[in-house]
Structure 1
């Protein structure tokens, strides 16, 4: 079951639209893969360079030590040669002696000089033979191999005579391989012979036995491009001797290590020129064999990297699953809400991170949604009730109008003009309040409703109510205003302003234009109001007070309607002085009248 769930989760990750868990998994995997490959690559490259540097350092140090060891031996041999060529009694006199072979004198001379030579080479195992060869045919030696007068006239003697004013070095091949160090013997400014010391070749092999790899090659060449030494077991793919000579001339023993491809095979070539002998040492290290261990290490690193990557992938899978588990829970809850289920069992997400914060915000949104839906349900219920009430209210005004018309006709028949006037004004006022469904009326219509209201309320007072109208421009009467905003203001002016005066009360309605605004001012010369009373009228208390009047709409109600409709600075403002006057300013944006075909008046 676990494997099945893992496979299904993996299928989701590789879908076109990856989940967050899949993205985290892929991101972790890519970062881990790049990191592992980068580290492995850097380590491998550095290790290759380190192996090459170590090989070059090791070979260079070994060659230097070999040259130093050979130099020490050659210096010792040079000192022996110097002792021989400067010994007059034993060496020079014996060479110049007239004694013939197979004579007693010759035998004694030979015994004496051989004992002298033997004493020089005792305890020096790196010397295989020391010989004194006179140009007159006398030959004396100590060690192996045997030597006789047949050596005279050979290239070896000629080379020593040409180059042996100090020391001459050359390699001898044949039955015995050796390095010969020769020097001419001079007497009376003439060459009378040579002294030759043969260096044991086994010591040369041990000294230059430098092989960092099994197939490495080391060559020692003299000044004449002759091979003084070459490694044993030269591999079959070794470069030919002419190529080695070319490398020696090309590098000139500068002591540098270079990478060169010889016959299609890459090598590290290390060269060194001996200041003492003038010999050049060349070491050729095949790169493929040198880096065999690095190849094994590279394969091991790849295996380890693969294992580490698998561990990281498994770890990233677990980490991404733990990171996104709360997101999946939140998604499941959102899907339930999408399906309309607002009573789902809440899964508490206790984390304090962004997901936890989203969970609490989501729960708050669900609670708010439930509250709003409950409000909508209640509103719909109230709407249905209001529609029923409106239907009932639509029927009642007809009976009221008919009843008022009946009262008006009866008053006319009975000669009661005041009752006829009141009932007619009440009909017109109620027709505007209940019968006109338009939200906006013209200023002219608003003034008509005010006149109807004054015709009704004047019979309440003993003195007639003086209502004056001042119209700045007749064209302003066609401007549109909110329905029933002027009548409540005039009502307040009459009841609370001049109603308490015994006589002389008057209300003035002034209509004027101000820039792009329409301003209606209602002025009364009543008792006035204090600031506290004006503040109370413009707050909720004033609203409760206003709603108890005839119109059912107060000053605050008119102000709030205008403020909601038009915004600042439109609305109602109060100006008053106690005992003198009260002025109400109503400010509208100027709107021209546009008659509607669907306007209905009951």
Structure 2
């Protein structure tokens, strides 16, 4: 997945847009097309199922009507036989038999002549006498032992059907084969005694089934056939597939079965007759069912090709509206790489690429302005350097003057003046520090020490101070004169305003990768609202609070320039108890500063 994602991301924008448009268009198209095909397939199968079910029902109904008419004919003949009480005639030698035989034969022939579907009629008595039309006896084996006789005798009053008429002691006299008929039997009962008289048998031609099946159109390769209750074939058209249909496939009358036989797929369904128990089976070629679907698939394929082609053309046109301005902008950037800043992007629209081009134009204009500013700044810097060289003579004059005052004070044994002059000289030297912006904490502490000495000379015992700095923090570098504004504020706004002597304490210590510098005094302190306002101003960006607290603002800005957001200035104060200001900066030694 990552590989293909990278391949896609590495493509040109034009190719991405074309592929994306095609992909986005194909998803719903294929989804809808697939749903349509599935729906159409199911609808086609459902229509075929309904159609075949209707045809099978018609075939079955027609067959049932024919067999029902045979049963009615049988009942009519039985009503003729019953009054004869043939069970009382023991043998054919009885004089009564000849008259009954003649009467029955005439009735049978009349029925056979008026019913083309009847191939023959045969009646056998319990005493092994028989009457037949178109059918006669083969041997003297008793009829009561025949399968057809026993089956009818076992269910008196009910019609019985045998689909396979082979192996019986009866021969057909007409020009038809036993393979072309099935038999319908019914036992004859004496209404007075309830004794069985015999069994009446009809051979019925398959034509009643074939004529019904011929009207059932199930496609070129589809067909209908009939099975009996034991799944033995009753009738089937000439077809090599019918003998490959397995009986176990016919287990659910409600749902058709899909099976593959002889290399072709078929849909098989059936209906079982409640009257005969026979199964009328339909076999439909799945290829014919799907014939319309295949046409739809071909049409879908052509529409898909046309859709892809259309989407491709549209995607190319749309992508060109994006990629052409981008390519033009890229070429302009190449020109700027060569130093040509006079080029400009010309965009006629309000889209993102045109907006990017306008920003590019503004950037070039700003670069030209900055280049002019840099040129002017360099010019001013050269002038300032020249002026700085000239100004270097002034500090030397000041130091020489202070040195002269110091020697004159020593000659008059005014050592307090000597110390004051030395302290002032050190203050000047450190504040100038040869033009450096950064000094070590050791130099900063020395500067504060001299500054406080001068203030103590000025205020006397009013100003008491203490300086404590750990040795580990002495080599840490920071912007110079960071502590002096804090010490000055502590004297003028804290200790000076207090009744009695005041105390200041300056400390420096290392805390992991940080250095903490603290200025504390026991002066007048500040109100809580003022402390809160001061803390808020220190945490606001820009020049907020510059006019109201210039000293702290000066410290904050210098620390921000050097450390960014990696510093803290904390103010704690209580009115009447004093003020504590803490500065926390990263631990940077001299080598770190040089590298930075």
Compute the TM-score of the two structures, normalised by the length of structure 1.
0.58
CA distance in 2, matches of 1:267, 1:173: 41
CA distance in 1, matches of 2:459, 2:222: 136
Q: CA deviation at 1:312?
A: 3.1
Q: Determine if the alignment matches structure 1 residue 434 to structure 2 residue 432.
A: yes
Shift of the 325–573 alpha-carbon distance from structure 1 to 2, 3 Å rule, reads farther
Q: CA deviation at 1:391?
A: 1.1
Asked if the contact 2:122–2:132 (Cα under 8 Å) also holds between the matched residues in 1, the reply is yes
Q: CA deviation at 1:489?
A: 6.6
Residue aligning to 2:175: 175
Asked if the contact 1:522–1:584 (Cα under 8 Å) also holds between the matched residues in 2, the reply is yes
Residue aligning to 2:25: 28
Deviations along 1:49-73, one digit per CA (max 9) or x if unpaired, are 653x346524541442133112222
Deviations along 1:302-359, one digit per CA (max 9) or x if unpaired, are 2111123134324544665687566547745763675447842245346xxxxx6x98
- 1:92-241 equivalences under 5 Å are 153-154=137-138, 163=149, 172=172, 174-175=174-175, 203=208, 205-207=210-212, 209=214, 211=216, 212-213=218-219, 231=237, 234-235=238-239, 237=240
Among candidates 386, 390, 403, match of residue 392 of structure 1: 386
Deviations along 1:554-587, one digit per CA (max 9) or x if unpaired, are 565245435766776537889999xxxx988664
Residue aligning to 1:557: 554
Q: Determine if the alignment matches structure 1 residue 19 to structure 2 residue 19.
A: no
Residue aligning to 2:451: 450
- 1:351-370 equivalences under 5 Å are 369=363
CA distance in 2, matches of 1:137, 1:498: 153
Asked if the contact 2:329–2:357 (Cα under 8 Å) also holds between the matched residues in 1, the reply is no
Computing the radius of gyration from Cα coordinates, the structure with the larger value is: 1
Deviations along 1:519-565, one digit per CA (max 9) or x if unpaired, are 4468999xx999999999x9989967999xxxxxx565245435766
Shift of the 496–371 alpha-carbon distance from structure 1 to 2, 3 Å rule, reads farther
Residue aligning to 1:291: 286
CA distance in 2, matches of 1:226, 1:586: 111
Structure 2, unaligned stretches of length 5 or more? 1-6, 166-170
Asked if the contact 1:446–1:483 (Cα under 8 Å) also holds between the matched residues in 2, the reply is no
Q: CA deviation at 1:40?
A: 2.1
Shift of the 13–301 alpha-carbon distance from structure 1 to 2, 3 Å rule, reads farther
CA distance in 1, matches of 2:327, 2:553: 50
The worse-fitting range, judged by mean Cα deviation, of 381-390 and 305-314 is 381-390
Deviations along 1:379-433, one digit per CA (max 9) or x if unpaired, are 6246414522441243123332454477679989999999x98998876654443
CA distance in 1, matches of 2:521, 2:199: 150
Deviations along 1:82-117, one digit per CA (max 9) or x if unpaired, are 24324659xx99x99979x9xxxx9xx98x999977
Shift of the 571–372 alpha-carbon distance from structure 1 to 2, 3 Å rule, reads farther
Q: CA deviation at 1:299?
A: 2.5
Q: Determine if the alignment matches structure 1 residue 309 to structure 2 residue 276.
A: no
Asked if the contact 1:258–1:270 (Cα under 8 Å) also holds between the matched residues in 2, the reply is yes
Residue aligning to 1:82: 78
Residue aligning to 2:68: 72
Shift of the 213–294 alpha-carbon distance from structure 1 to 2, 3 Å rule, reads closer
Q: Secondary structure at the match of 2:465?
A: strand
Asked if the contact 1:506–1:524 (Cα under 8 Å) also holds between the matched residues in 2, the reply is no
Shift of the 130–20 alpha-carbon distance from structure 1 to 2, 3 Å rule, reads closer
Shift of the 154–375 alpha-carbon distance from structure 1 to 2, 3 Å rule, reads same
Q: Secondary structure at the match of 2:392?
A: helix
Q: How many residues are paired up?
A: 525
Q: Determine if the alignment matches structure 1 residue 348 to structure 2 residue 349.
A: yes
CA distance in 1, matches of 2:562, 2:369: 24
Asked if the contact 1:216–1:284 (Cα under 8 Å) also holds between the matched residues in 2, the reply is yes
CA RMSD of aligned residues (A): 6.8
Shift of the 267–121 alpha-carbon distance from structure 1 to 2, 3 Å rule, reads same
Residue aligning to 2:4: none
CA distance in 2, matches of 1:576, 1:220: 114
Asked if the contact 2:345–2:357 (Cα under 8 Å) also holds between the matched residues in 1, the reply is no
CA distance in 1, matches of 2:224, 2:428: 127
Q: Secondary structure at the match of 1:344?
A: coil
Shift of the 302–471 alpha-carbon distance from structure 1 to 2, 3 Å rule, reads same
Shift of the 192–161 alpha-carbon distance from structure 1 to 2, 3 Å rule, reads farther
Asked if the contact 2:120–2:132 (Cα under 8 Å) also holds between the matched residues in 1, the reply is no
Asked if the contact 1:563–1:571 (Cα under 8 Å) also holds between the matched residues in 2, the reply is no
Shift of the 61–391 alpha-carbon distance from structure 1 to 2, 3 Å rule, reads same
Q: Secondary structure at the match of 1:440?
A: strand
Compute the TM-score of the two structures, normalised by the length of structure 2.
0.59
